[in-house]
Structure 1
Amino acid sequence: MLTLSQIKEKSSKRLTNLHPVVRSAATALIERCYKLNIPILITQGLRTIAEQDALYAQGRIKPGVIVTNARGGYSYHNYGLAVDFALLLPNGSSVSWDMRLDDNNNQIADWQEVVREAKALGFEWGGDWTSFKDYPHFQMVFGLTLTQLRAGAKPSISAVESAYKVINRKEEENLKGEAIAVVKVNGVKVADGVLEKGITYVPVRIIAEALGAQVGYDSATRTVEITNTH
């Protein structure tokens, strides 16, 4: 299993030119999903006008299927306010857009868990749109329309401050309600554990896979099985 640092590195180039708030939210999303044993990859960040026009041409005047209804300047990607994601598969190199996948075996589709965390961070989800559903898409618009952005408008200071408060809210609540213990394997941090009465609680999958073991779950018997692969 990849470490959190390795997973974040895979998305780093696509986070670079985002608006700072969106970059912070996307980074927090990667971290929160990792704690749920759902590694994700940010597949799109800032998209130039030319790149947007090329994407718009796909399925229209160029080969391929139609993947967007937005021409250059008509997507929040063009202003660094949107990201797209995919599920990172266990091999660490392949991705999936399978919205039914439940790779962490908790009887909830991984995709929906990512969406839930993204919304908690203040993202709007393209899967909620009515005219053209964009299931891998998250955006923060700060109350601005695309017309305003094309005219040069920027998110206000108050809107930015409000967005940061939403991003930091869950972490602040956790710190108030729980004692956090950093868990390392061979000197590398793999998780934040919850410390309670001298016992550190952490998801078994994170520890087992950091030690090179495989974890399976039998939902019928509610049995977790750890297999040493060495």
Structure 2
Amino acid sequence: MEKMLTLDQLKKKSDKRLIGLDSVFKLVIEKLIERCYARGVWIVITQGLRTYAEQDALYAQGRNGDKRPKVTKARGGYSNHNFGFAADFALLLRDGRTVSWDTLKDDDKDSLPDWSEVVEEAKKLGLEWGGDWRTFKDMPHLQMVFGLSTADFRAGKRPSQAQLNAVLSRLNKMDMEDEEMTAEEKAAFKALQKRVIVLESANKLTKVPAWAEQACINAKAVGALDTANDGSFDFYRMVTILDRAGVFKRGVVAQ
């Protein structure tokens, strides 16, 4: 039976696996879950931080007479999972319980495999995908290691603050791009645009009033205005009201 999960409900399913991850990397993974959800693809994190002992146990699988398939080539201390900069994911089916590693599944019926959509979003966020590795491809694996090797991590090296800040800056930019007006806000904005056109045609001023200059600049920056010249007093007043309401700070203009 298909079940509709809210984003918060979906994210809670990964909470335990996010414990112990580097704080910035954790934010990136949370953003990945959000962006995939927006595309109609549900994912859960199945592996996060591993201890050396847990890594050694995984390494032993498929070796020394164990007939199970091998799942890793890394011993304890030789996986980025051991340092909080790697995570594995799986698709969550629409029953809200079953996970899948089917790379061809397309639950959102957009003709693009859900797995491919996750990888696409992951790369936009700056994550490295284990499916790109030349040997021992690890399809569910994602990491962000900032050019550091596991030897570097074992030696105590960590990403610089500048590197971490660059990731945070990317996330902030994506947040602004992702933020959209609601249907009600779009309808109201369209009505205001029509009103602005009427006002613009009457009582034109020869110069933009000083008090409206910044509002006009902000409106032009998001494409709400082509030009601020030859507007009326009411036109500039309306643009200023919209700007103070934060409309031009959203980075989205209703089409």
Q: How many angstroms apart in 1 are the aligned matches of 2:189 and 2:43?
A: 29
Aligned 8 A contact 1:123 1:140 in 2: yes
**Superposition pairs for residues 124-143 of structure 1, below 5 Å?**
124-143=128-147
**Superposition pairs for residues 88-127 of structure 1, below 5 Å?**
88-127=92-131
**Superposition pairs for residues 50-69 of structure 1, below 5 Å?**
50-61=53-64, 62-69=66-73
Letter in 2 for 1:93: R
State, as a whole percentage, how many aligned pairs show the same letter.
Answer: 52
Distance 1:37 1:144, change over 3 A: same
Letter in 1 for 2:181: I
Question: Structure 1 residue 198: deviation in Å?
Answer: 3.6
Q: How many angstroms apart in 2 are the aligned matches of 1:15 and 1:78?
A: 13
Q: How many angstroms apart in 1 are the aligned matches of 2:32 and 2:111?
A: 20
Larger radius of gyration: 2
Q: How many angstroms apart in 1 are the aligned matches of 2:185 and 2:117?
A: 25
Listed as ranges, the gaps of 5+ residues in structure 1 are: 182-192, 201-230
Corresponding residue of 2:249: none
Q: 2:38 aligns with which of 35, 39, 47?
A: 35
Corresponding residue of 2:74: 70
TM-score under structure 2 length normalisation:
0.69
Aligned 8 A contact 1:122 1:167 in 2: no
Letter in 1 for 2:86: A
Is 1:11 equivalent to 2:1 in the alignment?
A: no
Distance 1:195 1:111, change over 3 A: farther
Q: 2:91 aligns with which of 87, 91, 94?
A: 87
TM-score under structure 1 length normalisation:
0.77
Greater share of residues in helix? 2
Moved over 3 A (4+): 197-200
Corresponding residue of 2:187: 197
Listed as ranges, the gaps of 5+ residues in structure 2 are: 191-255
SS in 1 for 2:90: strand
Distance 1:145 1:180, change over 3 A: same
Letter in 2 for 1:85: F
Distance 1:174 1:92, change over 3 A: closer
Letter in 1 for 2:123: K
SS in 2 for 1:73: coil
Instruction: Give CA deviations for 1:104-143 in whole Å, capped at 9, x if unaligned.
Output: 0000000000000011111000000001100000000012
Greater share of residues in strand? 1
Instruction: Give CA deviations for 1:24-73 in whole Å, capped at 9, x if unaligned.
Output: 01101111111111111100000110000000000002341101101100
Q: How many pairs does the alignment contain? A: 186
Aligned 8 A contact 1:22 1:140 in 2: yes
Question: Structure 1 residue 197: deviation in Å?
Answer: 3.4
- Which of the pair has the greater relative contact order for Cα pairs under 8 Å at 6+ separation? 1
Q: How many angstroms apart in 2 are the aligned matches of 1:96 and 1:109?
A: 13
Question: Structure 1 residue 169: deviation in Å?
Answer: 2.3
Q: How many angstroms apart in 2 are the aligned matches of 1:89 and 1:158?
A: 38
Distance 1:199 1:65, change over 3 A: farther
Q: Which moved further from structure 2: 158-167 or 87-96?
A: 158-167
Q: How many angstroms apart in 2 are the aligned matches of 1:31 and 1:113?
A: 13
